[in-house]
Amino acid sequence: MTRALNVHRIAPGATVQDRGRTGYRAFGVSCGGAADRLALAEGAALLGQSIDCAALELPGSGGVFETTAPLRIALTGAPMRAQMDGAPMRAQMDGAPLAWSASHAVPAGARIEIGGALAGSYGYLHVGGGFQTPVRLGARSVHLAAGIGSAVQAQDVLPVAEDTGTEVGLCLPQDTRFEGGMLRMVESFQTGFFDPPTRDRFTQTIFRRDARANRMGMRLESEGAGFSTSEGLNILSESILPGDIQITGDGTPYLLLVESQTTGGYPRLGTVIPADLPRAVQTPAGGTMRFRFVSRDEAVQAQRRMQDHLAQLSKLCRPLVRDPSQMRELLSYQLISGVTAGDAPFSEE
């Protein structure tokens, strides 16, 4: 039987994502790819497969899916309530909760239900072999802003590639990146457009993620005056990088993300470092963020720690304990409110 996942119900804006496409910036196509690169890598580690495998990105909540063949799955990113039903040969699994940040065996004909996010923003459903949706411009990533592919709809059938792996029942330790917190940024070539008092005020402000945030970017809400610069409206359009904090003419900051435009004319106050982008994108609606400038040296250290962490993910996978009392523990998440230190797992050795 064809290996596929039938979609019965799905959150609006859910898309198939891999690591995106490089090399098309000169044609106006930003890299795109999974909003939370760490979650993508965690899924690959749990299933013991290539980081290039495409997964399903679930913004805010999941959906209802049915397998047409036995599949291995992994659930990563923003923790969501998930359960499996109706596996005909394994009635004892009816209603069995599926632990998050973990891999599972799912028989043919099983129904997987994924609810709303308990923390964070983007959950990921990975399948053994990866989704085999069309490759466009060198990647399977749907790029909504560019009109490359489209969001997954109810009744869609997502083909799944052959799976060479067999291992399931692994889990990764839960991370604390799902509650907002402190985000590190470096100065960029337009930081100088903002006078020091404006920059200081920016780093002293607590921002709230606007509910309308998407893969292009998020509006940062705050009390008090905006952060405009008089040099704002007549400068030449310049290249944009994911993580750039762009200030529009009325002084509103936007954090630009993986699917942002490749160029833009509103000035950028600074750039959030790549190691902190998973935390930034996972900030839940209404969650709070703060920003601080760090030196290039500190940012490179953080980048090195992130690369090391990604390289070691498969070594961090542990057997999932199936004891029901422990299961509950795995399913519970600390819902820390307010601003956290926000530097794990990349800040210290």
Please report which helix (H) or strand (E) contains residue 309, including its range: helix 296-311
Q: For other proteins, which stretch binds (CB under 8 A), given 10-18, 162-170, 299-307, 319-327?
A: 299-307
Bridge partner list, 124 = 57, 76
Contact indicator for 269, 245 with CB cutoff of 8 Å: yes
Question: Segment contacting other proteins (CB under 8 A): 76-84, 122-130, 263-271, 338-346?
Answer: 263-271
Cβ 342 to other proteins shortest distance, Å: 17
Please tell me the distance from the alpha carbon of residue 317 to that of residue 39, in angstroms, as a whole number: 14
141 binds other proteins (CB under 8 A): no
Alpha-carbon distance of 57 to 18, in angstroms, equals 9
Nearer to other proteins, 86 or 274 (CB): 274
- Please select the residue that binds other proteins; options are 122, 207, 266, 291, rule is CB under 8 A: 266
| Candidate segments 20-28, 151-159, 172-180, 193-201, binder of other proteins by CB under 8 A | 20-28
Q: Provide the sign of the torsion angle of the four alpha carbons 185, 313, 14, 27, taken in this order.
A: positive
241 binding other proteins? (CB under 8 A): yes
Long-range pairs for 331-337: beta carbons < 8 A, 24 or more residues apart: 331/81, 331/97, 331/99, 331/100, 333/79, 333/118, 333/119, 333/174, 333/178, 334/176, 335/118, 335/119, 335/179, 336/176, 336/179, 337/179
Footprint of other proteins on 40-69 (CB under 8 A):
none
Minimum distance between the CB of residue 204 and other proteins, rounded to whole angstroms?
22
Q: Is 26 a binder of other proteins (CB under 8 A)?
A: yes
Q: Do the beta carbons of residue 28 and residue 145 sit within 8 Å?
A: no
Shortest distance, position 106 Cβ to other proteins, whole Å:
32
Show the binding pattern over residues 152-191: x = contacts other proteins (CB under 8 A), - = does not.
----------------------------------xxxx--
The answer to whether residue 91 forms part of the interface with other proteins (CB under 8 A) is no
For the bound state, the minimum distance from the C-beta of residue 227 to other proteins, rounded and expressed in Å, comes to 13
Q: Does 255 bind other proteins (CB under 8 A)?
A: no
Q: Give the residue, chosen from 83, 174, 261, 347, that forms a contact with other proteins under the rule CB under 8 A.
A: 261
Q: State how far the alpha carbon of 74 is from the alpha carbons of 50, 131, 173, 320, in Å.
A: 14, 13, 14, 12
Q: Which of 101, 229, 248, 282 binds other proteins (CB under 8 A)?
A: 248
Site for other proteins contains 27 (CB under 8 A): yes
Nearest residue (CB) to other proteins, 9 versus 304: 304
What residues have CB less than 8 Å from 180, skipping those under 6 apart?
209, 279, 283, 284, 287, 288, 289, 339, 340, 342
Q: Do 129 and 3 touch, CB atoms closer than 8 A?
A: yes
Binding mask 201-240 for other proteins (x = CB under 8 A): --------------------------------xx-xxxx-
Number of residues that bind other proteins (CB under 8 A): 46
Q: Is 147 in the site for other proteins (CB under 8 A)?
A: yes
CB of 321 vs other proteins, minimal distance in Å:
35
d(CA 140, CA 127): 14
Question: Would you say 120 or 267 has its CB closer to other proteins?
Answer: 267
CB 209 within 8 A of CB 60: no
DSSP-based three-state secondary structure for 326: helix
In whole angstroms, how close is the CB of 244 to other proteins at the nearest point? Answer: 7
The whole-angstrom distance between residue 113's C-alpha and the CA centroid of its chain comes to 20
Using rule CB under 8 A, residue 292 touches other proteins: no
Question: Quick one: tokens of 125?
Answer: 């459903």
Q: Give the separation between CA 310 and CA 49, rounded to whole angstroms.
A: 13
Binding site for other proteins (CB under 8 A): 22-29, 136-137, 145-149, 186-189, 233-234, 236-239, 241, 243-244, 248-250, 261-266, 271, 273-274, 296, 299-300, 303-304, 307
